[in-house]
Structure 1
Amino acid sequence: MIKKVSKTLVGIIACSSILSTHALAAEKDISIKKYDVEVSSKLFVPYSGKYIDSFKEGFKPGFGSGLTLKSVDKNGDLEFYAITDRGPNGDAPNYIQGDKEFTSKFFPSPEFTPSIGILKVNKDGASIKESIPLKNNGKEISGLPVTPGLVGSTNEVALDEDMNKLPYDNNGLDTEGVAVDKDGNFWTVDEYGPFLTKFDKNGNQLEKYAPGKGLPEVLKHRIPNRGFEGITIAPSGKIYCVLQSVLDVNGETAKKAQFIRIVEFDPKTKKTKMFAYPHNVNSYKSSKNAKIGDIYAVSDSKLVIIEQGEDKSGKMNNLIYSVNLAGATDISNKKYQGKELEYATSKEILNLKGIRFAKKELLVDLVKYGWDKEKVEGMCVLPDKKSIAIVNDNDFGMAVDVNDPSVENADITDYVYDSKTKKYTYEGKEANAKISFVKNSIEERNPVLWLIDMNKPIG
């Protein structure tokens, strides 16, 4: 039975396997079905390290980094393709090796392969019981970072739980979006390169594009680990990819840039265009705090985009917008005072230069409807053009904890680890930090799927 509830009650509705179905008495009379996503234990990521007591079954993958529809059967049952990111990982101290200092990440299961799960939704609930691992030349791809100096490098070091350096993988991908073309091939995007990669239906790599190698070179200025976050294929067959955040050109534009780049890629001609998505700059302490979750094309000119991030008050926002590219300027060869457009400090300045941003309209403020996860990273629109499916990224159910008696509210990224002395420092002083892998919060740990009925066509 569908219950009618007010917005104020949404956040306190109890959850079950199929959490609930709400017909919300809102301005647009939106209705939402909410599901817990059951993930087969055979898909859990193996782990045998020293924190095994917290992860006896391994790490629970959420397959929540990207989403696209696979099929709808005659009964209305749904199947989606849902992609993971680079695998279980967590923040780590800066890492000193020789005379160089690097940012770093923990990879407790470095053998993990980014994979595309098949998410089924029917009267019994939502579940993922099988997946397609991604491969290059027959070898499974890892999520480990690319060697410093190469295209796609984030200049970070991968570490195991004992602070030992792990190898780089020049074919590594941090996948963050998935789409399927008319021939059944997968197209994925990642945060490292950012890379755009084509795979066949079995997950075998066919083509790969990178900044300066098929993609606009300016994309190399992406903030590390903020490359492409979403991908979609329009009815025309053209591919649209969106960066997670603003570009940080020469380390100078992250705080003030007025837009986030959308890239159009024509797989037939290999030609590209770029458009400016106007994120809510004034809502954030810094422009770089705005993050895109995913993108979906409902027509050749209209997209749906998730914009999210912590606002100036510290409140997390998760907003779904309808975005219109009609009339937007192709900014591929546009400059501001001889520099990239990210150097302009206001939209008005760019408008005076003839730059027309994409237009957007708010569709859903997810928090108002009870969304309590930090990240919505997978989204697609169903064939009826009025239903939106979203999933969260559960970070494989893990987090990194640091315990230091001398530091209140310690943050692991404020520490430095010297690989030679094997000691930690904090603000230049030796520190007695104890680091461990723990389960993340219950709210973030469990993968969920929402089906949002807008009750009228989008766009």
Structure 2
Amino acid sequence: MRTHTTISTAAAVAVLAAAVAAPAAAAPQAAPIVKSSATLPATPLSDVERQIADDRGVDLGGIGSGLFHLGGNEYWTVTDRGPNGEVKVDGADRRTFVVPEFTPALVRIRVQGDRIVVLETLPLTTPGGAPVTGLSNLPRDEKPYAADAATPLPLNPNGLDTEGVVRTPDGHFWLVDEYGPSIVEADAHGRVVARHVPAGLEDDYAAAGVAYPVTGSLPAGLADRRSNRGFEDIALLPDGRTVAVALQSSVVVSGERDRTVTELLTFDTATRATVHEFGYQFDDPSTFAAGTRGRDLKISALIPLSQTRVLVEERTDTEARFHAVDLDPSRALITSADKTLFANLAGVAGVPGKVEGAALRGNRLILISDNDFGFDGSRAYPAGQDVADSGIETVLVEVKVDDDPFGSVETPGIGLGS
């Protein structure tokens, strides 16, 4: 295992020990309220991606993994790696891929009344046009199985588990991925141009036969991310070239399963280089619902406020709160004392579960949920059998927050049309 050195330093530990665990600022004067809600209609997955011969009854979903505002009621979203499950076999979890030929896709949507309308889909491909798929990449990743949880599937070094998207003024898409974790550049047609991984992993990808350029542009310690807890979102800052990305949970540190520090970093899309890495301390688990542990805390969304400030969504499986934080390069660690609470959505009626994509329009949070493709992924499915519907839909909501402390900030695309 690579040694994680960036925030596990004596200085950072000293800062952490002195930090105040509870949120620093008071909540807005009135509770947030959901003002509108829109739902994605059922659309067979094989209607969206023509290479899929049998979608096993799965509908388009998972598009709530990221949200990039284009202006008005239009957004780019992105799916994750596709319909996948976690099935218990002989006491161990197995990662199943119900439709292994699925490839992550960019999905442009418009909100019309109470409906989410799909305007365009761009499946991600290699430079040669082959689907990247969402399959695990390297032996260090979860071993992939077919839907029956018994038949092993081959690894694919091109595979991506995308979790956030922005679009730069040149029309390219920048995404984050959980496997590497990595930052991925794709052109306007969805072809992967380059993938940036923790230093040292690029050789592993090359040896595995990856079909696009892979560069070790990120801090090496990020390779110690927890399984299925890689980069979770990306925000484009106002200069149109710098992005902020977040690791969902703490890297693996021996003996610290409930460690409550994860990582934020800024990356220059023009020079293709990491600018700065920050440690990020979650709110104390005791400030969430009873029984919450450090391992339950996740960053799931980032929203740009200025060139040096972002909103960060901290969440569990049942709660979500948004904090404004400054990206001050003189700080090694962002603590609770550095946060300003913008919205606590715990208990707010109409807020969907598993919010992973977010944007801001004045005092309105725009949130989209990840419905995990709307099927029961906890069980195995024999060959040819359709999946069981979970009943969970993809929902986009507009949430009004009483105060507007950031001066009517909006986060549309920068100099972009569709």
- What's 1:408 paired with? none
> Relative to structure 1, is the Cα distance of residues 285 and 450 closer, same or farther in structure 2, using a 3 angstrom cutoff?
closer
* Bigger Cα Rg: 1
CA distance in 2, matches of 1:301, 1:275: 13
CA distance in 2, matches of 1:134, 1:27: 42
- Aligned equivalent of 1:91, options 81, 86, 89: 86
Are 2:400 and 1:453 aligned? yes
> Relative to structure 1, is the Cα distance of residues 27 and 455 closer, same or farther in structure 2, using a 3 angstrom cutoff?
closer
Are 2:295 and 1:288 aligned? yes
8 Å CA contact retained: 1:31, 1:454: no
Alignment of 1:115-194 (within 5 A): 115-123=105-113, 125-137=115-127, 138-148=129-139, 153-161=140-148, 163-194=150-181
Shift of the alpha carbon at 1:158? Answer: 2.8
Alignment of 1:218-237 (within 5 A): 218-236=221-239, 237=241
> Relative to structure 1, is the Cα distance of residues 376 and 103 closer, same or farther in structure 2, using a 3 angstrom cutoff?
same
> Relative to structure 1, is the Cα distance of residues 90 and 143 closer, same or farther in structure 2, using a 3 angstrom cutoff?
same
- What's 2:376 paired with? 399
- What's 1:61 paired with? 61
Are 2:277 and 1:274 aligned? yes
Q: Which runs of 5+ in 2 are unaligned?
A: 1-27, 200-215, 407-418
> Relative to structure 1, is the Cα distance of residues 224 and 124 closer, same or farther in structure 2, using a 3 angstrom cutoff?
closer
Secondary structure, aligned partner of 1:303:
strand
Are 2:212 and 1:207 aligned? no
- What's 2:20 paired with? none
Alignment of 1:407-422 (within 5 A): none
Q: Which runs of 5+ in 1 are unaligned?
A: 1-24, 73-77, 96-100, 311-315, 332-354, 403-411, 413-434
CA distance in 2, matches of 1:394, 1:241: 22
TM, length-normalised to structure 2: 0.76
- Aligned equivalent of 1:261, options 245, 260, 263: 263
- Aligned equivalent of 1:303, options 310, 331, 339: 310
- What's 2:353 paired with? 374
8 Å CA contact retained: 1:297, 1:304: yes
TM, length-normalised to structure 1: 0.69
> Relative to structure 1, is the Cα distance of residues 107 and 271 closer, same or farther in structure 2, using a 3 angstrom cutoff?
closer
CA distance in 1, matches of 2:351, 2:31: 21
The higher-RCO structure (CA 8 Å, 6+ apart) is: 2
8 Å CA contact retained: 2:86, 2:378: no
- Aligned equivalent of 1:107, options 84, 90, 97: 97
> Relative to structure 1, is the Cα distance of residues 111 and 29 closer, same or farther in structure 2, using a 3 angstrom cutoff?
closer
8 Å CA contact retained: 2:42, 2:59: no
Shift of the alpha carbon at 1:197? Answer: 0.4
Are 2:340 and 1:361 aligned? yes
CA distance in 2, matches of 1:276, 1:136: 33
Secondary structure, aligned partner of 1:90:
strand
Deviations 1:324-344, CA, capped at 9 Å, x for gaps: 22476146xxxxxxxxxxxxx
8 Å CA contact retained: 1:228, 1:241: yes
Are 2:48 and 1:43 aligned? yes
CA distance in 1, matches of 2:252, 2:165: 25
Secondary structure, aligned partner of 1:220:
helix
CA distance in 2, matches of 1:327, 1:88: 39
Secondary structure, aligned partner of 2:347:
helix
CA distance in 2, matches of 1:194, 1:358: 28
CA distance in 2, matches of 1:356, 1:306: 14
Secondary structure, aligned partner of 1:92:
strand
- What's 2:204 paired with? none
Deviations 1:187-207, CA, capped at 9 Å, x for gaps: 000111101001111101112
Deviations 1:309-334, CA, capped at 9 Å, x for gaps: 15xxxxx2122222222476146xxx
CA distance in 2, matches of 1:376, 1:267: 26
Deviations 1:35-59, CA, capped at 9 Å, x for gaps: 222354433895748xx5xx3xx33
Secondary structure, aligned partner of 1:399:
coil
AA aligned to 2:313 is: I
Deviations 1:145-168, CA, capped at 9 Å, x for gaps: 0120xxxx4242333326111111
Deviations 1:51-79, CA, capped at 9 Å, x for gaps: x5xx3xx333241101011232xxxxx11
AA aligned to 2:171 is: G
Secondary structure, aligned partner of 2:122:
strand
Q: CA RMSD of the aligned region, Å? A: 2.8
CA distance in 1, matches of 2:114, 2:146: 41
AA aligned to 1:267 is: T
- What's 1:341 paired with? none
Secondary structure, aligned partner of 1:298:
strand
